[in-house]
């Protein structure tokens, strides 16, 4: 076991020496690496800033940074009721399930910036979470008119949900037909098929799914990798049909 540990330390040191050579590090770093525990000094001073160690820096940040609480955010918003502080507090309240206060604060933020996509989306989601679907529908429609592709077309799926919850499936179908025409991605076709099945329109749902899977099979590899989960969902839905 001691030999194994010694071999691992030597391999680690050599790896860092090679890294220092490749990046053209200052000469003194070679001496530092060869010192007892010097390899760790080099690693945490130089090597850790490489992109492949982003996860390690994020983990360190999470472990060492005090989590900001809703109370902290509320204090900041009361001290300085800026747009940024108001929306940050509103989002935190939404995330913890306080939808009524979140809706009020998102509305306050829109009084400051009436064209804010984030505040408008937050207000629409808050209304939806409160089952205030008519208000949610109006806000989602405003968002889509303002920025259809906001957050990768998130407004469409949320608006379709609000329509469905209000027994307005015909409007959900019309909305998602438009989305598929505009952006015929597999995920959008799956979403469209989901609501078609709710209306027992199995044949049309199957057409959407089969068309999406055909496009998926012919897509480049990186596109197939990105949409693998959607493809699995589409295949499951076809089996149900």
* Chain segment 26-49, per-residue pLDDT in tens: 878 888 888 888 888 888 888 888
Residues 151 and 224 in one domain: no
Residue 48 CB partners (closer than 8 Å, separation 6+) = 56, 57
Give pLDDT tens digits for 142-169. Answer: 999 999 999 999 999 999 999 999 999 9
- Residue where a domain terminates, one of 33, 64, 95: 64
Q: Which domain holds residue 228?
A: 168-241
Instruction: Give me the number of domains the chain comprises.
Output: 3
For residue 69, tell me if it sits in a domain: no
Q: How confident is the model at residue 122 (pLDDT cuts 50, 70, 90)?
A: very high
C-alpha 66/C-alpha 64 separation (Å) is: 7
User: Which pLDDT score is estimated for 56?
Assistant: 79
Q: How confident is the model at residue 1 (pLDDT cuts 50, 70, 90)?
A: low
For residue 32, tell me if it sits in a domain: yes
Residues 159 and 183 in one domain: no
């Amino acid at each position: 076991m001691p030999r194994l540990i010694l071999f691992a330390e030597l391999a680690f040191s050599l790896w860092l020496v090679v890294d220092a050579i490749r990046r053209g590090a200052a000469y003194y770093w070679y001496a530092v690496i060869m010192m007892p525990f010097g390899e760790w000094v080099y690693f945490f001073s130089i090597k850790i800033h490489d992109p492949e160690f982003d996860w390690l820096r994020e983990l360190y940040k999470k472990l060492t940074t005090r989590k900001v609480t809703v109370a902290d955010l509320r204090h900041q918003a009361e001290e300085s009721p800026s747009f940024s502080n108001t929306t940050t507090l509103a989002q935190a309240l939404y995330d913890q399930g306080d939808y009524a206060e979140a809706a009020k604060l998102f509305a306050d933020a829109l009084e400051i910036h009436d064209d804010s996509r984030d505040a408008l989306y937050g207000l629409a989601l808050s209304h939806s979470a409160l089952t205030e679907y008519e208000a949610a529908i109006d806000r989602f429609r405003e968002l889509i008119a303002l920025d259809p592709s906001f957050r990768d077309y998130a407004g469409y799926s949320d608006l379709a949900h609000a329509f469905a919850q209000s027994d307005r499936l015909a409007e959900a179908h019309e909305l998602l037909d438009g989305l598929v025409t505009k952006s015929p991605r597999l995920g959008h076709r799956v979403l469209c098929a989901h609501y078609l099945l709710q209306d027992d329109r199995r044949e049309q749902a199957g057409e959407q799914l089969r068309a999406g899977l055909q496009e998926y099979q012919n897509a480049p590899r990186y596109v197939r990798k990105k949409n693998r989960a959607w493809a699995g969902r589409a295949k499951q839905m076809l089996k149900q049909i």
